[in-house]
Amino acid sequence: MRLKTNNLEIDMLTYNEVIALRDKLANGEIGLESAQAQYWKDFKEGQKSWYTKDWKERRAKIIKDKCEICCSKETLTIQHLSHPKKYSEYLREITRAYANDYIDNNSEIDKSKFIDHVLKNYEYVPIPLCPNCMGKNPSERVRKIPKYRCADCKHEFDEAIYKSAIELISIFYEDEDAYEVRDKCFVSKDKWKNIHNLSHVRYWLQREQAKNKDAEKIGKEAFLFYLNDSIQYLSFDDTITLCKKCAFNFDINRMELCPECKQYYKGLQYPTCIQCLPEEKRKAALESIEFGNEMREMHKRLGID
């Protein structure tokens, strides 16, 4: 669907088109790449769907004729109670789940492959060891000779001992909880400069393997979740109609459906909605909505918001 607004021209799928796209992807009629191309064509994540005619028309059918908190009919807006997640968030969640599954079933990595991986992708920063007790606590002394003193066995020495990366990996393959291999002494060579111990290194390698093995499946699952969120958002199912004042309040006070009337909304801190309060309390509550908004607007004007 194509429409023109003052200075914008956007192609965005309508509600029904998104549903059709989701169904085609789910039953395998189209692939992930094609679904994403159709959905994201001319569309940036977070773009405002209210530029579309479809959205405006369906919104007009959904919006109620009065505020669902205070019954006012002034400047009504629709408030969404849930917000869609980003595709990248779903992708990360599902990758993690696939990785955990993969690790449970493929915990073995060939040792020589692991050594290649570590040497290629990590900088090894070895820790100095005491030559007497092999403890990890030699303290370096600036002024005194010999240079080191072991905090554990009190031995003094000039040359600390270092284990090579390959030695550490061998120990790791014998016993992954061994004292020698717990330290985070591997720094990733990529831009993140992550500091890992050997079991972290192995986790990220396996996660990468899981991701590559099931890239298409993971992407598809994540994109289906993402499309479902968009459909939910576009459906206006999880929305309430609010006047301008209550919409202001709503953003800072979390609301839930009133247990008395199951029709109007109330702040979590109140037992019932304003409508269900006894006359006197209702007046006070309406005044406090008014007051809250005036305070906020004053704060905004004074720049202390």
Angle between helices 15-26 and 53-62 (to 10 degrees): 100
Closest to Zn ion by CB, 47 vs 72, is: 72
Q: Which of 35, 150, 181, 285 binds Zn ion (CB under 5 A)?
A: 150
Closest to Zn ion by CB, 95 vs 275, is: 275
| Residue type present at position 60 | A
Closest to Zn ion by CB, 233 vs 264, is: 264
Mark 48-87 with x for binding to Zn ion (rule: CB under 5 A) and - for no binding.
-------------------x-xx-x---------------
Angle between helices 87-105 and 215-235 (to 10 degrees): 140
Stretch in the footprint of Zn ion (CB under 5 A) among 8-16, 131-139, 206-214, 217-225: 131-139
Stretch in the footprint of Zn ion (CB under 5 A) among 24-32, 49-57, 245-253, 279-287: 245-253
* C-alpha closest to that of 169 among 229, 109, 257: 109
130 binds Zn ion (CB under 5 A): yes
Mark 32-51 with x for binding to Zn ion (rule: CB under 5 A) and - for no binding.
--------------------
Q: What is the DSSP letter of 272?
A: S
What element of type H or E holds 32? helix 32-40
| Residue type present at position 301 | R
Q: How far apart are CA 11 and CA 41, in angstroms?
A: 7
Instruction: Enumerate residues 162-221 that contact Zn ion by CB under 5 A.
Output: none
Q: How far apart are CA 165 and CA 246, in angstroms?
A: 62
Q: Which of 96, 147, 149, 155 binds Zn ion (CB under 5 A)?
A: 155
Mark 254-273 with x for binding to Zn ion (rule: CB under 5 A) and - for no binding.
----x-xx--x-------xx
* Binding-site size, Zn ion (CB under 5 A): 22
Closest to Zn ion by CB, 211 vs 266, is: 266
DSSP per-residue letters across 138-165: EEE-SSSSSSEEETTT--EES--B---H
Closest to Zn ion by CB, 155 vs 282, is: 155
**End-to-end CA gap in the chain:** 40
Q: Which of 31, 78, 96, 135 binds Zn ion (CB under 5 A)?
A: 135
Three-class SS state of 21: helix
Q: Which of 222, 246, 255, 277 binds Zn ion (CB under 5 A)?
A: 246
Q: How far apart are CA 10 and CA 79, in angstroms?
A: 23
* C-alpha closest to that of 230 among 93, 57, 87: 87
Q: In angstroms, what is the minimal distance from the CB of 175 to Zn ion?
A: 21
Closest to Zn ion by CB, 208 vs 290, is: 290
* C-alpha closest to that of 292 among 241, 252, 255: 252
Closest to Zn ion by CB, 201 vs 246, is: 246
Q: In angstroms, what is the minimal distance from the CB of 240 to Zn ion?
A: 10
Other CB atoms within a 10 A radius of the CB of residue 100 amount to: 14
Q: In angstroms, what is the minimal distance from the CB of 283 to Zn ion?
A: 15
| Residue type present at position 191 | K
Closest to Zn ion by CB, 35 vs 129, is: 129
Residues that bind Zn ion (CB under 5 A): 67, 69-70, 72, 130, 132-133, 135, 150, 152-153, 155, 243, 246, 258, 260-261, 264, 272-273, 275-276
